Amino acid sequence: MTARLIDGKAVAAARRAALAERVAALPFRPALRVVRVGEDPASVVYVRNKDRAAQAAGLDSATIVLPEATTEAGLLATVAALNDDPAVDGILVQLPLPPHIRAEAVIAALDPAKDVDGFHPLNAGLLAMGRPALVPCTPQGVMILLRETGTPLAGARAVVLGRSQIVGRPMAQLLLGADCTVTLAHSRTRDLAAECRRADILVAAVGRAEMVRGDWIAPGATVIDVGINRLPDGRLVGDVAFAEAAAVAGAITPVPGGVGPMTIACLLENTVAAALARRA
């Protein structure tokens, strides 16, 4: 391996510790409410991790668990109650939702000022206009890792693989905001490998195990792997074939221990930012 390992776990731990100090000095406790519908096993783990991290940072955190059979109207009523509760600063509705509930309708119903995921159309629109307010946590975490590792951004060629609302699209906007030349590539892109080879910064967020091979990567490039995929043998791997990529890249994030911990750290930071803005 020649690439430098980007330790997201360590960066996230440092930011969480710094945030806990800031929270302890506040005259109030920022309040986060996480809503989970049903028992999707991955969501159960993610939500538990978010709640524990929020508690550890000194936030007032609670999880609202609704049954799988909850109707869209029922979930909208829960969201409305949290919107109207002046003691609540941040609301997160864990995705995916059951198929009978339209995620777009639920996200659009959130108070944008409490939308700590940054998924509401107002927050997505502000980001697209270059006026970021509450920014999606995973791409925000990637930007922090890039800055921490000293990756030059202005003028750099950045390729984002994947165009999801949660990662790919906001990631492209943030890189553009940092003066990168951005390519947003996806499943219909002609010759993905060739696009990736042009990247100084490659962010993979497609959700396909080890799709990005070593020969897709330019020597010295910074590779950020957002994917978390479970193989049939139980191993967790990213969207990047790690060993191959690490032999070529200049710096690379591991899976696990790369981007994942940053997502939670940024959620906590967004919650505190939302609280300060609301209570100003």
166 is a site residue for ligand GUN (CB under 6 A): yes
109 is a site residue for ligand GUN (CB under 6 A): no
Query: Which of 7, 115, 117, 195 forms a contact with ligand GUN (CB under 6 A)?
Result: 117
**Closer Cβ to ligand GUN, 89 or 117, answer by number:** 117
Residue 114 falls in the annotated catalytic set:
no
* Nearest-angstrom CA–CA distance, 90 and 106: 15
Residue 173 falls in the annotated catalytic set:
no
92 is a site residue for ligand GUN (CB under 6 A): yes
**Closer Cβ to ligand GUN, 70 or 138, answer by number:** 138
How far apart are CB 220 and ligand GUN at their closest, in Å? 30
Report helix angle 259-279 to 41-56, nearest 10. Answer: 60
Give the distance from CA 1 to its chain's centroid: 27
* In contact, 121 and 108? CB cutoff 8 Å: yes
Query: Which of 11, 66, 93, 106 forms a contact with ligand GUN (CB under 6 A)?
Result: 93
* Nearest-angstrom CA–CA distance, 182 and 195: 11
Is residue 125 annotated as involved in ligand binding?
no
Query: Which of 137, 201, 209, 223 forms a contact with ligand GUN (CB under 6 A)?
Result: 137
- Write out the two tokens for 242: 């790690």
Is residue 163 annotated as involved in ligand binding?
yes
Helix (H) or strand (E) holding 243: helix 242-246
Residue 140 falls in the annotated catalytic set:
no
Residue of 7, 51, 60, 117 with catalytic role: 117
* Nearest-angstrom CA–CA distance, 229 and 252: 17
What distances in angstroms separate CA 126 from CA 112, 174, 234, one per listed residue? 11, 11, 40
Is residue 162 annotated as involved in ligand binding?
yes
> What is the b/e burial string over 92-104, where b = at least 16 CB atoms within 10 angstroms of the residue's CB?
bbbbebbeebebe
Q: Which residues carry a binding-site annotation? A: 162-164, 228
- Residue ranges binding ligand GUN (CB under 6 A): 92-95, 117, 137-138, 166, 263
**Residues belonging to the active site:** 50, 94, 117
Q: Which residues carry a binding-site annotation for NADP(+)? A: 162-164, 228
